[in-house]
Amino acid sequence: MYRRGEVGYRPLALPDRIQLDPAESLRAVEDFLAFMRKRHSVRQYSAQPVDEAVIAACIAAAGTAPSGANHQPWHFAAIANPEMKARIRAAAEAEERAFYQGGAGDEWLAALEPIGTGCEKPHLTDAPWLIVIFAQRWGTTEDGARYKNYYVPESVGIATGMLIAAIHHAGLVCLEHTPNPMAFLTGMLGRPAQEKPVMILPVGYPAAAATVPAAAKRKKPLAEILSVFR
């Protein structure tokens, strides 16, 4: 991470080397693909608790993500407090009502119809944990000097993807929830002005009767998302 006055380059020998032969490499990534195909965004949660150590380990995994100039421009707020979750739900639902009652255009609402979303967000109080992801638009040194962060959306996006994969790896589910605007979260969670909330992830175990939208199982075929130039 950034340290004031640290401007020299000092190379280290590659600390870890995980190198597979071609057959092992293909087998490993195909196994990972099969596992990730079992990841689902879930809106119905069990009341079964999740140990804080599991949530912390998932966030630690996200914190290993690469970032612009290694500034690591993110912060994760993990919330289990029921009263705080209720306040977040109330504020998020107020934003969602404005969205569904005119803030979104007809095309956007039509696109959401197959997903089955609406103004009510019970997952924000039912899930045992909420993880709020913040993007740090700039940083400050220990003596209060301000410095620029680079490639913030890209860096936070990578870390968020790694967090979602870690949550799945832990046998849990989450939902990528983005009420808009989300500025209420900054003050509510006591974060500084340079941090912008970008996502809320309810995290826990799926309810016994959990469902997913049929439309969510339709993924673009590889031919539509891959171009190869030999």
The distance in angstroms from the start CA to the end CA of the chain is 37
Q: Where in the chain are the domains? A: 42-206
Mean pLDDT, consecutive 10-residue segments, the chain of 230 residues?
78 94 97 97 97 98 97 98 96 85 73 81 97 95 89 98 98 91 91 95 98 93 97
Tokens of 98: 């404005």
CATH dotted code for 42-206: 3.40.109.10
CB 130 within 8 A of CB 88: yes
Q: Cα(184)–Cα(196) distance, rounded to whole angstroms?
A: 10
Confidence (pLDDT) at 103: 65
Confidence (pLDDT) at 167: 98
The sheet carrying 74-79 orders its strands as: 74-79, 129-136, 195-204, 173-174
Q: Please provide the DSSP assignment of 138-207 as one string.
A: EEE-TTS-EEE-BSHHHHHHHHHHHHHHHHHHTT-EE--B--S--THHHHHTT--TTEEEEEEEEEEPBP
Residue count of the chain: 230
- Rounded to the nearest 10°, the torsion over CA 35, 41, 43, 49 is 50
How many Cβ atoms from other residues are within 10 Å of residue 107's Cβ? 8
Q: Cα(155)–Cα(190) distance, rounded to whole angstroms?
A: 22
Tokens of 32: 């990972």
Task: Let me know how many helices (H) and strands (E) the chain has, helices first.
Answer: 8, 6
Nearest CA to 66 out of 134, 143, 157 is that of: 157
The maximal CA–CA distance of the chain, rounded, in angstroms, is 57
Q: Cα(132)–Cα(163) distance, rounded to whole angstroms?
A: 12
CB 41 within 8 A of CB 216: yes
φ/ψ (deg, to 5) at 38:
-90, 0
List beta partners, residue 173. Answer: 204
pTM: 0.94
